[in-house]
């Protein structure tokens, strides 16, 4: 089958976590013999900022790292109907321009492909009018990256066939590198963002690192001057943007990492971890998490350490760094759960199962079971 993904960007992961997941899903579909292509706006904010920040080198590096992936850009004159003329499944990300979301729905009436809307953000609760204003009546299915988000769509009447489809790790990229020497204590990979976790980062990352005098590294973008000053004052090395494909080696150099979720997910969409949590555990690095509620039981208690406040974070960091048995146990358990439940291969299995049961008739006929779950 031919899958077409409308995404904000495939080639740029600058402040754009969905690119991580989409790359892994597309690659797994291709490995199974399907065709998968991405369409992204020519003026994508993420790509523009990546080039401004790093130049053109990361774009070429993407092509070298992912030679199997294909992405086309579109502008105002782009012929979307022609581009979708031979598509079997079209998956539209929620950051797509609202007018284009509606246009694709109109095209679907004429061409008959299975049309899917994919939501991987908290705008359904933080900016409800944005999602409520989208024209989704011609969409066959909606994929939400957490059960609480799925329930939000159903309650609001934004769709009747809504399915939970969590993000996951591409285990062909995210894997342990035991041969790499660990020469630093802690790494956190994440973006400062829009003040959605500033206090949490101070409590669960900056202050514990400062008190314990750890050798710590922070990678990510959109750090304002006051945030950079806090990192410097705590003795934390800020190393800026990192290509997602380079993150596994960065994890391998460090003895532990932390998960600090954004406040909207903790308060209004519980049960949705960031994709970095899946990716870090896939790399076999011990992880300590700030509070969030695992309402869907995605993980086991032994997969990582939960802490409730900054003091517990300091105690947990000290324990992981000084207790090899604890560190090794966390490494093994977290990796085991990812490989059993949370890789992009698992998500493609889930996608094909959903399409086989709820897609349009032509798509159902092309999906056979149990082969799709291999």
Domains and CATH numbers, the chain: 2-168+343-373 (3.40.50.2000), 184-341 (3.40.50.2000)
Average pLDDT rounded to a whole number, residues 109-125: 93
Residue with tokens 């950079």, as numbered in its chain: 228
Lowest-pLDDT choice from 66-80, 219-233, 358-372: 358-372
Rounded CA separation 6/41 (Å): 9
pLDDT tens, residue by residue, 193-205: 777 799 999 999 9
pLDDT band at 125 (very low <50, low <70, confident <90, very high): confident
pLDDT tens, residue by residue, 257-315: 999 998 888 888 889 998 999 999 999 999 999 999 999 999 999 999 999 999 999 99
Percent share of the chain, pLDDT over 70: 98
Taking each helix axis from N to C terminus, what angle separates 18-31 and 275-282, rounded to the nearest 10 degrees? Answer: 60
The mean pLDDT value of the chain amounts to 95
Average pLDDT rounded to a whole number, residues 158-183: 97
Q: Are 269 and 149 in contact (CB under 8 A)?
A: yes
pLDDT greater than 60 at residue 370: no
Rounded CA separation 308/289 (Å): 9
Give the pLDDT of residue 374: 38
Average pLDDT rounded to a whole number, residues 50-63: 97
Give the pLDDT of residue 196: 79
């Amino acid at each position: 089958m031919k899958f077409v993904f409308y995404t904000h960007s495939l080639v740029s992961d600058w402040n754009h976590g969905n690119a991580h997941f989409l790359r892994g899903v597309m690659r797994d579909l291709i490995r199974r013999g399907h065709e998968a292509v991405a369409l992204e706006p020519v003026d994508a904010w993420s790509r523009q900022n990546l080039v401004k920040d790093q130049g053109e080198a990361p774009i070429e590096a993407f092509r070298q790292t992912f030679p199997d992936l294909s992405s086309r850009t579109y502008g105002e004159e782009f012929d979307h109907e022609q581009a979708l003329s031979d598509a079997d499944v079209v998956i539209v990300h929620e950051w797509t321009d609202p007018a284009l979301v509606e246009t694709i729905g109109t095209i679907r009436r004429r061409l008959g492909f299975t049309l899917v809307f994919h939501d991987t953000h908290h705008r359904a609760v933080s900016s409800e009018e944005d999602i409520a204003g989208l024209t989704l009546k011609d969409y066959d299915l909606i994929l939400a990256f957490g059960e609480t988000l799925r329930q939000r769509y159903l309650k609001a009447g934004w769709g009747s066939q809504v399915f939970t489809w969590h993000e996951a790790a591409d285990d062909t990229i995210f894997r342990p590198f035991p041969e790499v020497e660990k020469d630093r204590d802690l790494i956190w990979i994440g973006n400062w963002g829009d003040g959605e976790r500033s206090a949490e980062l101070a409590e669960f990352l900056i202050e514990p690192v400062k008190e314990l005098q750890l050798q710590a590294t922070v990678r990510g973008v959109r750090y304002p001057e006051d945030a950079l000053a806090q990192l410097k004052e705590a003795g934390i090395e800020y190393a800026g943007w990192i290509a997602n494909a380079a993150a596994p080696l960065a994890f391998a150099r460090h003895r532990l990492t932390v998960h600090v979720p954004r406040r909207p997910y903790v308060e209004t969409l519980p049960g949705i971890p960031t994709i970095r949590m899946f990716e870090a555990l896939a790399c076999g690095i011990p992880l300590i998490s700030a509070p969030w509620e695992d309402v869907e039981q995605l993980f086991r208690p032994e997969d990582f350490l939960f802490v409730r406040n900054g003091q517990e974070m300091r105690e947990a960091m000290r324990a992981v760094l000084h207790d090899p048995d604890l560190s090794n146990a966390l490494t093994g358990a977290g990796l085991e759960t990812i490989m059993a439940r949370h890789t992009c291969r698992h998500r493609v299995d889930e996608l094909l199962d959903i399409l086989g049961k709820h897609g349009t008739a032509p798509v159902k006929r092309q999906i056979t079971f149990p082969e799709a779950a291999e």
